[in-house]
Amino acid sequence: MFHIQPLIQPTFKESASLIFLIILMISVSIIGFGAVPHLPILAAILVLLGYGLLKKIPYRKLQDGMTEGSGAGMAAVFLFFFIGMLISSWMMSGTIPSLINAGFQLITPSYFYAIAFTVTAIIGISIGSSLTTVATVGVALLSMSGVLGLSPAIAAGAIVSGAFFGDKMSPLSDTTNLASSLVGVDLFAHIRNMMWTTIPAFILSFGIFAILSPAAGEAKLDTIRSFREALAETGLVHWISFLPLAVLIVFTLMKVPALLTLAASTASAVAIGCMLHAYSVEQVLAILFEGFTSETGVEAVDSLLSRGGISSMFFTITLVILALSMGGLLFKLGIVQTLLAKVEQSLRSAGSVIGASALTAISINVLIGEQYLSILLTGQAFQGQFKKLGLASKNLSRVMEDAGTVVNPLVPWSVCGIFIADVLGVPTVEYFGFAFFCLFSPILTVAFSMFGKTLTYEKPSSDSN
């Protein structure tokens, strides 16, 4: 969005005051009144429109700013449509249930924390939703930790860490697609680049969880068994159900564009679903739009499997469009440029720019409590700075996830923090120190940049990995 030319040059005081007002409006609405972010963002857009009109800017030009801003997210919007269809098709073909079943087979009483971290990571990647993973499998694992007499705080930390690892690295995740498409990076190139910081964070976290895990004896694993039995009764667990996943991997390795890769995997999943369960054309179309509905009778399993469809993406799509429209106004009115100019002299190196963008993503999570906005606003504000230093955009998309996506569950008043604490019954302040993956990710992304490691530059001769 850095290409949007400002119509005016506001003073630093005006720019800072407007940003403070917008952050105050959004944070009070979300944290204080539990409002969805759409409403305060609409209010912020009205404030910016009012400011522009006071500055004698024609409404038509302000409208153009919103259009230019929202246009930056159209690639993400189209991907979200296909993600919705992919999730529902992977449900009807049994791909996701089969992956979940494979994850449950790993559960044993010994090394429980490390295994819980791994299982939630597998399931998080499978379904692309951290909160769904926590609310279903996470609840089951926490109950199991109680049976084993283990620490609920450490168990919750392992569950949150694994769920957000899966969310961050899943091609089905809306935050992963948003971060990559916002700055024009191929989805799978973005995921591959995140491995430089994500894999070390995973290994460190796994090692710590393994050390913290006591040697537990045999115990009743009724909760896990009921999950597996319910999955088996669906008839969705089958070896051929892994074929759509194989299509996704092969197309990714062939560097086929993300949208076409998602479409191909969806088509293969629909074919397998129809072959195994004889869905009619009407049923397939309904599932692709409205999502898959599970009817096992086990509430936790049904909640886990009943998802997907184009309609499930509407909340995210509307939020993206509104937030980008607000961003377009912030750039059109010169507010972002004025604030960046104030600190531009200190942003001369890759380390300083990455550090500043990471701090911005973390600050937005803390002040507003919304991970989508932390990704959107950080990407909008720093894309130009990364380009000036010759840093490839995938460096920025990685920072947006390392310091944006995975930090949200660590904030007690954030959307994710409130939800997780309520669902697991473990306060955020108690699991905070044990959510190792979420803590390591922003630290590693800044540390590597300070030493010039794992960075990619636009010019081939300057590549450094």
- Mean pLDDT check: name the lowest of 44-48, 58-62, 175-179, 414-418: 414-418
pLDDT on residue 143: 64
**Segment 170-188, tens digit of pLDDT:** 888 888 988 998 888 988 8
Segment 459-464 shows an average pLDDT of 47
| Distance from C-alpha of 164 to C-alpha of 443, rounded to nearest angstrom | 16
Give 332 or 460, the one with higher predicted confidence.
Answer: 332
| Distance from C-alpha of 295 to C-alpha of 212, rounded to nearest angstrom | 38
Domain positions in the chain: 75-313
Segment 249-268 shows an average pLDDT of 83
Q: SS in 3 state form for 43-101?
A: HHHHHHHHHHHHCCCCHHHHHHHHHHHHHCCHHHHHHHHHHHHHHHHHHHHCHHHHHHH
Segment 220-229 shows an average pLDDT of 66
Tell me what percent of the residues of the chain surpass a pLDDT of 90: 31
Q: Which of 138, 124, 165, 154 is nearest to 424 (CA)?
A: 138
Coil, strand or helix: which one is 457? strand
**Segment 359-415, tens digit of pLDDT:** 989 988 887 777 887 888 888 778 888 888 888 999 999 999 999 999 989 988 777
Confidence of residue 464 (pLDDT cuts 50, 70, 90): very low
Give 150 or 204, the one with higher predicted confidence.
Answer: 204
Confidence of residue 75 (pLDDT cuts 50, 70, 90): confident
Confidence of residue 163 (pLDDT cuts 50, 70, 90): very high
Looking at the chain, how many residues does it have?
A: 465
Give 460 or 376, the one with higher predicted confidence.
Answer: 376
Other CB atoms within 10 Å distance of the CB of residue 102: 15
**Segment 234-251, tens digit of pLDDT:** 788 888 988 988 888 788
pLDDT on residue 193: 93
Give 373 or 135, the one with higher predicted confidence.
Answer: 373
Confidence of residue 103 (pLDDT cuts 50, 70, 90): low
